Structure 1
Amino acid sequence: MVRPRHFDEEEVVRTARDQFWSAGYSSTSMDDLSAVTGLGRGSLYGAFGDKHALFLRALDSYNSDALGAWRTTLGSPGPALPKLERHVRNVTEGINSDVERRGCMMAKIAAELSSVDEAVAERIAAVVRELHGALRRCIAQAQAEGSLDADADAGGLASLLLAVLRGLEALGKAGATPEVVNGAAEQALALLPRVSTEERAPGSTSSTGA
């Protein structure tokens, strides 16, 4: 007769996630996971299969939370450009408040495993596509609303912002000051091809009078 489990699997996954996030995959042993979760090795193997399977569950959990945060900000109701600005500033605030300098778990795991673990590489590539898509959709909305130049390449702008945000994560982990992180973020926002209020006004004309 199979004995019922008396633990919350998702809570175990979140606890394991923190361990992998802090120590990395290779430096985390099943004994480490047993210690942080309070479960014996047999229970962990019985519930999750092995270390790699538990790790993938933990990575999926992190990625789901990260994507959820981006979608909440970028996909919320309201004008798109303020949402985009708020999102960039929210990310920089998170980087500046990361006193432990753990950085982004996805970036950390990508550096460690993407070149040798196909399952990890596929997951991270899929998340990057989703992050890019969320930015692109918000930028396209801003173009449709007339706050960003409609002729600009929405995909290219999304790529620029995504590269900046991922780079800011690396800067923060390396110990860059909040002034450096914030300054880079604000400069990236300043590069967006905004449409002035005068240009958006119905019946407005250019400075040449044409």
Structure 2
Amino acid sequence: MARPRSFDEATVVRAARDTFWTKGYAATSLDDLTAATGLGRGSLYNTFGDKEQLFHRALEDYCAAADEGLRADLTGPGSGRAKVEGWLRASAESVAADEERRGCMLAKSTAELASRDPVVVARAHATLDLFQDLLTDCLEQARREGELLADADPRGLAGMVLAVGRGMEALGKAGASAEELRRIAESTIAALPRP
């Protein structure tokens, strides 16, 4: 008869997520994972299969939280333009506050694994597509509300905003100052054409 698990699977996945996020996939050893989770190798293998499967669970956990945060930021009350501007400013502050310079786990994982891991590629596409769709919806709302030029291209502008957000994360990892990041956010806001 199998013994009941004496650990919380979600807690283990979060501990693994933080380890992969900090070190990257290749640099994370099974010893790192056992130390972070408090589980032995046998328990990790029996529960999650292997390192790759645990990584996929950890990445899914990260992306699900990111998706939820994006929805909260970009679908709540307020004007469409205010939501986009608020997101850009909050992103600059968040990147500046990342003292460990871990950046985005999805971006790090995609850079490391996209050439050989279709699960990572599919998850990256799903999250980035959701992000661009939410930004497009906000900018279409801004256009309807008269806060964006009537002939502006919300989808194209959403792509620009998304690229700036991803770029700020890369610059933050490279040590950009909070002032530089804020200036980038404000320049992007100014580039969204008002009527």
Structure 1 length-normalised TM: 0.90
Shift of 1:150: 2.4
RMSD of aligned Cα (Å): 0.9
> Which has more helix, going by share of residues?
2
The residue type equivalent to 1:79 in the other structure is S
1:104-115 → structure 2 map (5 Å cutoff) = 104-115=104-115
The residue type equivalent to 2:137 in the other structure is R
1:36-185 → structure 2 map (5 Å cutoff) = 36-185=36-185
Matched residues in 1 for 2:127 and 2:183: separation? 26
Aligned residues: 195
Q: Are 1:32 and 2:32 an aligned pair?
A: yes
For the pair shown, the structure with the greater C-alpha radius of gyration is 1
Matched residues in 2 for 1:38 and 1:149: separation? 55
Q: Are 1:8 and 2:4 an aligned pair?
A: no
Deviations along 1:22-69, one digit per CA (max 9) or x if unpaired, are: 110011111211111000111111111111111001001111111111
The residue type equivalent to 1:112 in the other structure is E
Aligned sequence identity (%): 52
**Which residue of structure 1 aligns with residue 188 of structure 2?**
188
Structure showing greater relative contact order (alpha-carbon pairs closer than 8 Å, 6 or more residues apart): 2
Q: Which runs of 5+ in 2 are unaligned?
A: none
Shift of 1:78: 2.1
Larger mean Cα displacement after TM superposition, 75-84 or 185-194:
75-84
Matched residues in 1 for 2:128 and 2:83: separation? 20
Matched residues in 1 for 2:52 and 2:183: separation? 39
Shift of 1:20: 0.1
Structure 2 length-normalised TM: 0.97
Shift of 1:16: 0.3
Q: Which runs of 5+ in 1 are unaligned?
A: 196-210
Matched residues in 2 for 1:179 and 1:59: separation? 31
The residue type equivalent to 2:15 in the other structure is T
| Runs of 4+ deviating beyond 2 Å | none
